[in-house]
Structures are given as structure tokens and as C-alpha cells.
Homo-oligomer: A and B are copies of this chain.
Amino acid sequence: MQNQAPESPIQRIVLIVSDGTGITAETFSHAVLSQFQSVSFQQMRIPFIDTLEKAAEVAERIDRYTQERGQPPIVFSTLVDQQILARVRQSSGIFLDLFGTFVAPIEEALGVKSSHSVGRTHMGVTSEQYRNRIEAINFTLGHDDGQFVRELSQADVILVGVSRCGKTPTSLYLAMQYAIKAANYPLIPEDFERNTLPATLLPWRHKLFGLSINPERLSEVRNERRPNSVYASLEQCRHEVAEAERMMRREGISWHSTTTKSIEEISTTVMQAMKLGSTTY
């Protein structure tokens, strides 16, 4: 878990205050603060602040941190309700109004006023988008690691690659974040001996995208799972990766190395290559 315990007294407190989950603001503030690498931050998310009572508690808490630490916390807010926002601002925090800052220029550009209503950032459970998302998650879970090949016709993309190259987390991320039905199918030594793609994949060649990985890194990853096995040996990893890349080259399958990439980066590259979702280039 990413639980951040206080490490030093000069650590700066960062509060994410939201009337929703605050997850968007948390990710955003993490990105902005990553540009201050000389400073250590303790980031805390304070979700569901949707009443004046809760706002008053947050303001008190901010003032308490200021007193205890001798310096005010940085407060990222995505509060929309003007009264709740004003109440939290009546505190000693360094206040960054993520939504408000951009609403005015957008209002001007569009020539319309914003609703200032507490929006539902995430998909509500009864929406079509939500249903698509759950359906994609279920599809991806059911089509992990080459299971249930009969429904591959419904897949938006089928990731192929050797065992432990990152197919499963990427598939799940695509389903979870973008409602993309992402199946994945392992390339195994038997496929390399037969020197052909698994027969079940042949009708769906246009949906295939390959993931590859540096053999040294693959050996590390496999050793965590099955220490000192042939499966995890550098020799075996080198062989499988070389064979998989040879097969992908021969079959005309685009592929991408996952070695130094985050799940988000791999997913974005898959979406670009396969023209999925709103990603354009």
C-alpha cells in the first residue's frame, strides 16, 4: 500500500479536499508536486465534504496542522459549492482552487455560465457508460490468459506476449478506465515450436497487439513468482522473448516493450496503436 507515514518533521502536508472522492484531484496534485523533488510531501485525501459542518471541520483541521507544523498545509480543492468552498478558505491553508481557476476562462470562451453544481465526475451506476465499464471488466476477467476463446469476436483488442510481460494489468486497466474489452493470450514455448500463432487467434489477427519485455527484467519478474525455476532462468527468458518477437515480426503484429513503462503508459500506447477510445495522435 502507498500509505505515506510521516518521515521527517520538515515534510509538507498536502490536503486534497473534495465533495466527491477526490481521486482526480489526488492524482493531479501528485503530478504537480512531482515537479518539486527536493521537498517531501505527505498527501492526504479528504473526500465527501458536502456540508458546511464538514467544511468547518476541515478548516479546523487545516489550522491545527498550521499550528503543529509551524507552516500551513497546501490545500488542493475541487469543491464546487460556493458556500462550502468559502468556509474551507476561511483557514490558514495555501489554497489552490482546481476547478474554480479554470471555470471562469471556460465560461468566457463558451459564453455560458457553469452550473456550479456538485457534479458526478465518475460514471453513475445506472448509466450506459457504467454498464459498459462493468461489462468490459467482466469480459477482461473472463478472457485473461487465453480463457474462453469463443467470445474473442467481441474483444476490442487482444494482447499477446510471453508469460509475465504485463498483459493482465494492462488488460484490466483498459477495461476499468476506458471500458475497453481487452482479452489477453499467452505465447508459450509450444507456439514457438509449432512456429505459428495459436490457431484460435488467427481469425482475429487485426485485433492483436504484442507486449514484449527485456529478458533480464522478465527473469527478475518470473523469479519473484517461481524462484530458481527453468521458467525464470535468464536463458529461458531470452529464448522466449526472441521467439515471441520473431513471431510478431513475421505475423505483422505491432508490439511495444513494457520494460520501463507504467501500466498507464502501456495502455495509452495500445489505445494509440489500435485506435481505441478518445486517444488520438
Contact = CB atoms under 8 A, between A and B. Distances in A.
A23 B80 contact: no
Interface string A95-124: 010110111011001101011110111111
A241 to B, nearest CB: 16
A44 B26 CA distance: 22
Contact of A121 (B30, B37, B172): B30
A96 B109 CA distance: 11
A227 interface: no
Contacts of A38: 112
Contact of A173 (B176, B263, B276): B176
B3 A98 contact: no
Given A2-B179, A109-B94, A276-B1, A36 B264 contact: no
Interface in A50-65: none
Given A3-B276, A28-B98, A120 B34 contact: yes
Nearest to A22: B268
Interface stretch (A126-134, A200-208, A228-236, A243-251): A126-134
Interface string A20-36: 11111111101111111
A33 B2 CA distance: 30
Q: How many subunits of this chain does the assembly comprise?
A: 2
Could you say which interface size class chain A belongs to? 35 or more
A179 B33 CA distance: 20
A212 interface: no
A262 interface: yes
A260 interface: yes
Nearest to A213: B125
Contacts of A1: 132, 136, 156, 178-181, 276-277
Contacts of A272: 47-48
A177 interface: yes
B46 A99 contact: no
Nearest to A118: B35
Contacts of A102: 32, 96, 98, 101
Given A106-B74, A137-B169, A115 B27 contact: no
Contacts of A138: 168
A12 interface: yes
A32, A117, A259, most chain B CB atoms within 10 A:
A32
A252 to B, nearest CB: 23
